[in-house]
Each structure stands twice: as structure tokens, then as C-alpha cells.
Structure 1
Amino acid sequence: MSWADALSNTRTQLRALNKIIPETTKAFGGLGKTVKEGGILDFKAKEFIALGIAVATRCESCIVLHCEALIRAGATRDEIGDVLAMNIQMGGGPSMMYAAKALECFDELSSNKNASS
């Protein structure tokens, strides 16, 4: 499955979850909005942190959502590389395997964005 397909499937799954527990998903969304809009760090820095956590916890759905957000925020491949290097340093071998997945995801979604622009 491609990362674009994974992104579409993740969105479909989240929409289904929202239908059954809308209050919970709305509250979680509100938390995300508050965290991303407030504080000292900018949105892109916070998304870099989120991507690192997604890799460390081996959450492919999280990886695809945060890669998409970082592409929209103007992140570069080199910036992604720095985040992934730090993640590997902190998380060892398992983080290295998921860092490779995250880079593949970023590359695929970036090329899809550039192709549609």
C-alpha cells in the first residue's frame, strides 16, 4: 500500500471513529488545536516533535498524518532527516526502521504534492 493510500485509509478510519464518539474526538481535536496554536514553539517545530514521537512509538498512521502536516508547513527533506537522526539516536534500531518508513512517507507525499501543484 502506498503512503497516499495509508493517508486516505487513516482519514476514513478517523471519520468512522468520529461518528461513534463525536464528543471524544471533538475534545481530542480541541486539545490538538490548543497545543499547536499556543506556546513558544511554532507549528512546524511541534510537528517535528510529533513526527519523532510517531516514529518512536511505531505508529504508521501518526507518521503519515504528521508528514502531511510538515509538508503543508514547508518542512524540507533535510529538516526531516535531522528529526529522524535525533529519533534514531534516542530510540535505537526500532526507531531506525520506522525512521526509514517516515522518510519514505515524506518523499512519496512530497512528490505527490509537487506533481499536483
Structure 2
Amino acid sequence: MNAAEKATEAFAYIQKHIPEVYEKYLEFTKSMSEKGGLSPRDKELILVGCSVMSQCEMCIAIHVEGAAAAGATREEILQAALMAVAMGGSPKLMYLKYVFEALEDLFE
């Protein structure tokens, strides 16, 4: 099971066991993503960087896929991930492994 599949499984578990939290989370994230100013592509690229900063394998997989689906190139996705490395140093550099894995699934 890849990281994106694990995330889907985690969300299903949360939805089943604490549906009120899941619904509020969806409302919150939807309201944030609907705000204007940034394109969906740019928002996903920011989320790639945030995912690396958070060291969340499942988030990386989801947002690399989301960025690619929104039209970001492999190079743009990698650059977004590298911005997290610039801010977070060596621990974030180690999480580029998951970015490369997600990119390989999508671009190769």
C-alpha cells in the first residue's frame, strides 16, 4: 500500500470513528482552498513544501499528486519541496525521498 492509499485509509477511519471532527476538518480545508488569489496549482505546490516541512509521508504523496493534477511540472514540484529543505535543513532533506517516490509514480 502506497502513502496515498494509507492516507485514504486513515481518513476513512477518522470519518467512521469521529465523523464530527472529519466533517469540521473538511469544512475548514474547503473554506481555505476556495479563497482567491492563488491558483489551485500554486496552492498544491505550497502544500508540497508544507508536507515536507511536516515530515508527513502521506501528505507528500497526496500533494505531489495534487500538484501534478493541477498542472505543476516535475521540476516545479521538486523546487517546492526544496524550499522546505532550505527552511528546515537536513531532516527535511531526508524526506525528499518520498517526493521522488511520488514523482516517479506520476512522471516516469
TM-score (norm 2): 0.89
Contact (CA 8 Å) 2:48, 2:60: kept in 1 or not?
Answer: yes
| Gap regions ≥5 residues in structure 1 | 112-117
**How much has 1:110 moved relative to structure 2?**
3.8
Provide the residue aligned with 1:67 in structure 2. 64
Q: Tell me, in whole angstroms, the C-alpha distance in 2 between the residues paired with 1:85 and 1:53.
A: 11
Q: Which moved more, 1:62-71 or 1:97-106?
A: 97-106
Determine the C-alpha separation between the residues in 1 that align with 2:33 and 2:100. 23
Q: How many residues align?
A: 108
CA distance in 2, matches of 1:16, 1:85: 32
Shift of 1:8: 1.4
Matched, 1:92 2:89: yes
Match of 1:17 in 2: 14
Q: Percent identity?
A: 34
Secondary structure of 2:95's partner? helix
Q: Is the 8 A contact 1:7 1:64 kept in 2?
A: yes
Q: Deviations over 1:1-38 (max 9, x none)?
A: 6xxx2211220121111011111111111111111111
Alpha-carbon RMSD: 1.5
Q: Deviating runs (4+, > 2 A) in structure 1?
A: none
Distance 1:32 1:110 in 2: 27
Deviation at 1:106, TM superposition (A): 2.1
TM-score of the superposition, structure 1-length normalised?
0.83
| Deviation per residue, 1:80-117 (Å, 9 max, x gap) | 12112212111111111112321221221344xxxxxx
Structure 2: any 5+ residue segments left out of the alignment? Answer: none
Taking the aligned partners of 1:75 and 1:94, their CA distance within structure 2 comes to 25
Kindly indicate whether the alpha-carbon contact (under 8 Å) linking 1:87 and 1:99 is maintained by their aligned counterparts in 2. Answer: no
Aligned counterpart for 1:34 among listed residues 15, 31, 36: 31
